[in-house]
Structure 1
Amino acid sequence: MKQCFFAVDLGATSGRTILGTFTPEGLEMEDVNRFPNHLIETGGHFYWDIYELYRHIIEGLKIVAQKNVEITSIGIDTWGVDFVCVGKDGGFLRQPYSYRDPHTAGAPEAFFKKVARKQVYEWTGIQVMNFNSLFQLDTLRRNNDSALAAADKLLFIPDALSYMLTGEMVTEYTIASTAQLVNANTRKPEDALLRELGLTENNFGRFVYPGEKIGTLTKEVQRMTGLGDIPVIAVAGHDTASAVASVPAMNPDFAYLSSGTWSLMGVETKGPVITEETESLNFTNEGGVDGTIRLLKNICGMWLLERCRAAWGQTSYPELIAEANASEPFRSLINPDDVLFANPADMEQAIQTYCSDSHQPVPHTRGQIVRCIFESLALRYRQVLDNLRTLSPHPIETLHVIGGGSRNELLNRWTANAVGIPVVAGPSEATAIGNIMIQALAAGTAKDIASMRQLINRSISLETFYPEDTDVWDAAYLHFKQVTMNH
């Protein structure tokens, strides 16, 4: 009997549920339903609608039941850091804040007055970003937040959704590692940090690792969907951890670039790499599958273009790419990670301001803006890869681009030119594939991660881009470093 796995894959702007089946030819996947994930702005805060996300998951499960598909298990992955406060009676105390909420501005500095920045990094190995759960929780505490004050448990987003399906509360390792609360060496929550927040391990669900069973669908969910007591498996709850699990690498000498709203570039290591250099470069050591650590750096990704496109009336990608291709090369460059681009009211204006402030020609046409974004991203990838080479315990011979950005042929070609090594693009559905892989491992369908990666390599069409025009890109890189250093 063929085994079907139901994957819930939620990103910061949209979500979907997918059915994955392993056949002798490889992996087959089909979308069950897709839906938007809207931020709700009210009362000066940005929230996620956890109930709406749950409703869409239930819809997906109903569709599967109506098709008479037997599913082996269910797994959920989402973005990192955000969490739900749960009361003593098991009810959610309010909708979860979004990491894009401005309330954590300046939060790291406030926390480091209590615990030295260096000490926090030595324990967790996690890069400092003001929206990390550590700083969200400290901010809520300082603001006497009523939901936190009344909370009995804190559940990260994938764990909150699996709780809604099963009634079981867990804290999955990969998603918890994004919080900056987990000790990178012991792979458990760091008590000293929890104490500073007035919390203990009891404020979290049972700690689990990818592949462990959370529970089975509650009677309520079974009744609503028409399904039986299907197990819900803790996959790599953090979407990047799921995506990296599916990198179709044939040997370990690779770096990956998970490319979507965010770009995450890194390498897989057996243990954390926590040094003065990784700290000063703000590299992060997040939990991976199979006991690995993902040594990586967050880079702003398609967020820049998504925000511009929203203002341009959702012009098609091919149109924008053609306009970018026809524009003058290296006319204006930006640092995609500048604070100016975090959440501006007008992204196009923010890019123009940056270029004007750094005494470069200001991009005016859509083609110039898109070209500026793509070239800047490719050069920023090179900068981060150069740093990774010095930190990685193994050589880096290939860059695997996975996620939605792997379909962006122009950016992939420019990335290969910028980084000077082959870029292998695909799979674009990396997160869902990784989610399904972990479920398959839990079900005993698959043997280990390495053999799964080889199966993916065989069963999915990948495109390789080789570096060209490296002299031109080398010169552009020097210019990029100059422009971004002085801004």
Structure 2
Amino acid sequence: MSGGKDRTLCLVAFDLGAENGRAVLGRFDGRRLELEEVYRFANEPVAASGRLYWDVLRLFLEIERGLVAARRAAGGPLQSLAIDTWGVSFALFDQKGELAGHPYHYRDRYVEGIMEKAFAVVPARTLFEWTGIQLMPINTLYLLLSMKLEQSAQLASARHLLMMPAALSYLLSGEMVDEFTIASTSQMVDPHTRTWSGKVLDAFGFPRDLFGSVLQPGTLVGRLTPEIAQELGVEPVPVALTAGHDTASAVVAVPAAPSEGTGRTWAFISSGTWSLVGLELSRPVISDAAFQGNLSNEGGAFGTFRFLKNVMGLWLLQECRRRWAREGADVSYDQLVREAAAAPPRRCFIDPDDPGFLRPGDLVSGIREFCARTGQPAPESRGEVARTILESLALKYRWVVEQLERAAGVAIDRIHVVGGGSRNELLCQLTADVTGRPVVAGPAEATAAGNLLVQAVALRELSGLEELRSVVRTSFRTRLYEPAAGGGWEDAYRRFLSAVMGEPVREKPGSL
């Protein structure tokens, strides 16, 4: 602890995912961090007039309620608060600083076909060279371009664009600043200057003055406004910039020890609604191999980059569960995992990132149709469908890990799984078995822990990433999953590559 002070800090992390949000109170004594979830709320998109929106004002109201709950649980003053959210989403504000309209959801159908229009302006390879970001239709760039081409009244009245955590922080503090890790998910940031790319903005005709300052995580930017503090009955709590992208906060809390220079490294899987599979690097990898693999160089905290690929995650299982609930079978996730564990292994696989799985709908039928289309037996029971999803995720993780190794020129000897998916014992064991690498699972609360400990850096209570991770290792337990010998996964992976990915089989790099 850099400050050497004998006191316990009370910090608040607001962690908002694509389905729910929560307020987490962190008590940090300089050596250990204790977490207490004090408030939870739903994050439900709203469909209206043919569009899909984020209910940002409801989220702001829930944050206010969460702040009151955190102050009550702390029993005393709060030292700081910070917000992290899912990536790519943004809000627009007019010249008075008021919301110009309801923010669009990244699954809004109006982004369909927009990537091709974007590449007619800037070729895909050039866009990757400028930003280093994976080409995905959900990226901020494409929704913003769609609004421009539609002559959106919301965009016409906008004077400020803020990524979602920055927008919510602004409503709390009145300070309009963005943060690097979340801004990088927009595909409009220059990875070398770590601020908005003038080349991208100019090429697509976005006014430069729509975009403000981009600061690094671990910065104090203001305080709760006097009006909000009075309304909520709390002190004017300092507002910090944490790693605003939830995955960036989660990676901060990976309990990896410092590298010993062995030439090998660890990969991370931030497992939740999405699975983000990647490496932590000191510089971006912008190469033909990275482009061909559609890999991404997203901003990380403390001078790092997250060299990764987005993989559709447990949203597949969540959406299937919703379908079964509508049919009258409202089963828990734990029950689905038990049914999956009892189902026959390695029968059929899907590509989790098939475009047909991107939007809400009947994914159960979609999975069966995918298997039939690729010449595989279709899963019938809930357990078979769930097992197909989990095995396919593990197989896709291996495929991405091997891409990362080739593009970055490293050997990956272990995988850290953090986030809610680290609690899924079957998925963790499948990941170890399929990849042939040990899996270290935990902490499940990595995003909240990372958010809170970056606040401690902003308050100068911690010196940086190495000291922060030492606190993580002291504070949270992990579980090791060793890969089981045999099991038929090499043959399964060959079938996955040929039938699902349409690729020739490659030899597994290295000898691990």
Once the 2 structures are TM-superposed, how far is the Cα of residue 69 of structure 1 from its aligned partner?
A: 2.7
Question: Structure 1 residue 344: deviation in Å?
Answer: 4.5
Secondary structure, in 3 states, of the residue corresponding to 1:5? strand
Kept after mapping to 2: 8 A contact 1:420/1:470 = no
- Shift in Å at residue 206 of structure 1? 2.4
What residue is the counterpart of 1:187 in the other structure? Answer: 194
Q: Note if 1:34 corresponds to 2:40.
A: yes
Shift of 1:393: 4.7
Contact 1:65–1:226 under 8 Å retained in 2: no
Structure 1 vs Structure 2 CA RMSD: 1.4
- Out of 295, 301, 325, the residue aligned to residue 307 of structure 2 is 295
Counterpart Cα distance in 1 of 2:308 and 2:168: 27
Q: Structure 1 residue 357: deviation in Å?
A: 0.9
Please tell me whether residue 383 in structure 1 is matched to residue 399 in structure 2.
yes
Q: Is the 8 A contact 1:85 1:155 kept in 2?
A: yes
Task: Indicate the residue corresponding to 1:15 in structure 2.
Answer: 21
Match for residue 109 of structure 2 among 102, 112, 115: 102
1:256-281 deviation per Cα after TM superposition (whole angstroms, max 9, x unaligned): 00000000000011111000110011
- Percent of pairs identical after alignment? 42
- Equivalence map 1:274-353=2 (5 Å): 274-313=286-325, 314-353=330-369
Offset of 1:295 from its aligned partner? 0.3
Aligned to 2:52: 46
Secondary structure of 1:202's partner? helix
Q: What are the equivalent positions in structure 2 for 1:206-225 lying under 5 Å apart?
A: 206-225=213-232
CA distance in 1, matches of 2:460, 2:423: 32
The answer for the alignment partner of 2:71 in structure 1 is: 65
The equivalent position to 1:161 in structure 2, one of 154, 164, 168, is 168
8 A Cα contact 1:265 1:299, kept in partner = yes
* Higher mean C-alpha deviation, range 467-476 or range 368-377: 467-476
Post-superposition offset of 1:111: 1.1
Shift of 1:62: 1.5
Structure 1 position 457, deviation (Å): 1.5
Q: Secondary structure at the match of 1:400?
A: strand
> 2 CA distance for matches of 1:440 and 1:157?
22
Residues 279-312 of structure 1 deviation map (CA, whole Å, 9 limit, x = unaligned): 0110000000001010000001001100011122
Code of the aligned partner of 2:356: L
Structure 1 window deviating more from structure 2 (178-187 vs 200-209): it is: 200-209
After superposition, residues 99-138 of structure 1 pair within 5 angstroms as 99-138=106-145
Change beyond 3 A, Cα 1:394–1:451 = farther
* Corresponding residue to 1:175 among 171, 182, 188: 182
Rounded to whole Å, the distance in 2 between the matches of 1:203 and 1:213 is: 23
Measure, in 1, the Cα distance between the counterparts of 2:360 and 2:10: 42
Retained in 2: the 8 A contact 1:418–1:470?
no
Alpha-carbon distance in 1 for matches of 2:478, 2:501:
36
Q: What displacement does 1:134 show?
A: 1.0
Q: TM-score normalized by structure 2? A: 0.93
Partner residue in 2 for 1:266: 278
Partner Cα distance (2:96, 2:301) in 1? 33
Deviations 1:129-151 (A, max 9, x none): 11211111111000000000110
Distance 1:5 1:173 in 2: 21
- The structural deviation recorded for 1:196 is 2.8
| Residue ranges of structure 2 left out of the alignment (5+ in a row) | 1-6, 260-264, 504-512
- 2:442 corresponds, among 426, 439, 452, to 426
Q: Which amino acid aligns with 2:321?
A: R
Distance across 2 between alignment mates of 1:484 and 1:208: 41
Aligned partners of 2:30 and 2:461 also within 8 Å: no
Of 497, 500, 508, which residue of structure 2 is paired with 1:484? Answer: 500
Alignment match, 1:453: 469
Which of these residues, 385, 389, 397, is aligned with residue 413 of structure 2? 397
Q: Give ranges in structure 1 of 5+ residues lacking alignment.
A: none
Separation in 2 of the partners of 1:457 and 1:90? 42
Deviations for 1:183-239, whole angstroms, at most 9, x for unmatched residues? 111212111211233334421232211011221110111112111221100111111
Structure 1 residue 123, shift from structure 2 partner:
0.8
Q: Is the 8 A contact 1:170 1:204 kept in 2?
A: no
Aligned counterpart for 1:198 among listed residues 205, 214, 229? 205
Provide the rounded CA distance (Å) in 2 between the counterparts of 1:381 and 1:328: 21
Indicate yes or no: 2:104 matched with 1:88.
Answer: no
Preserved contact between residue 23 and residue 70 of structure 2 (Cα < 8 Å): no
Deviation at 1:25, TM superposition (A): 5.7
Q: CA deviation at 1:391?
A: 2.0
SS of 1:290's partner is coil
What SS does the aligned partner of 1:81 have?
A: coil
- 1:66 Cα deviation after fit: 3.6
Q: Give distance in 1, aligned partners of 2:156 and 2:431.
A: 47
1:384 shift after superposition: 0.7
Question: Which residue type is aligned with residue 318 of structure 1?
Answer: D
SS of 2:187's equivalent? coil
CA contact (8 A) 2:196 2:211 kept: no
Contact 1:172/1:210, CA 8 A, preserved across alignment: yes
> Is the 8 Å Cα contact of residues 258 and 401 (structure 1) preserved in structure 2?
yes
